[in-house]
Amino acid sequence: MRALEGRKIVVASHNAGKLREFADLMAPFGFEAKSAREFGLPEPDETGTTFEENAYIKALAAATATGLPALSDDSGLVVDALGGAPGVYTANWAEMPDGSRDFMMAMEKTEAELQKVAALDPQQRTGRFVAVICLCFPDGEAEYFRGEAEGTLVWPPRGDSGFGYDPVFLPAGHARTFGEMSAEEKHGWKPGQAVALSHRARAFQKFARAHLGVV
């Protein structure tokens, strides 16, 4: 494991929702974190077929362009009844012809696909959010931290917090969707606490334990 030197890091994302979550997660550690958007960097094409590959593409582009360590996240919704779809194409399901993203449309598409395979009962609608965080240095060396959150897909959507598919994802052991939870509830982890809730918080927890001396 390579040591992080300094307290400056690039968050290799243009996604406003992800940037908010990373800001919440990194706030306790005193990092000066700037986004790829703040550096004026373009979004690289995500041509990978795994979360790890896409996370590396984004982190490497930001690290080499800025000369700073970069953190990226590639994440998605994996639905068992749909053979793992949408998976790495989670954001693509929300894409509009003008390049914008409509996640209400994406949630409706997911529900339509579940209806097609007659996945009507909760036990048939299992899945998980997956997040892979990549820490990449300017020379291309990288490390990966994977987090998963198990749950079921509900319909209709519930709540207007979070982003993406949060309103239809009911995490295991909870009565409210991610879309009904505050950011603090969804992350479910702070330094000194044992268990994170969201997939991104669980991945970040592993990163923090590896590089920030967090127990």
Q: Given the residues 24, 45, 73, 74, select the one marked as catalytic.
A: 74
Measured distance CA(196)–CA(25) in Å, rounded: 11
Q: Parallel, antiparallel, or unpaired: how do β-strands 126-136 and 169-171 relate?
A: unpaired
Q: Parallel, antiparallel, or unpaired: how do β-strands 70-79 and 32-35 relate?
A: unpaired
Residue carrying the six token digits 């996370």: 55
Q: Which two tokens stand for residue 140?
A: 């291309």
Is 74 among the catalytic positions? yes
Q: Which two tokens stand for residue 206?
A: 């592993």
Q: Which helix (H) or strand (E) holds 29?
A: none
**Active-site residue numbers?**
74
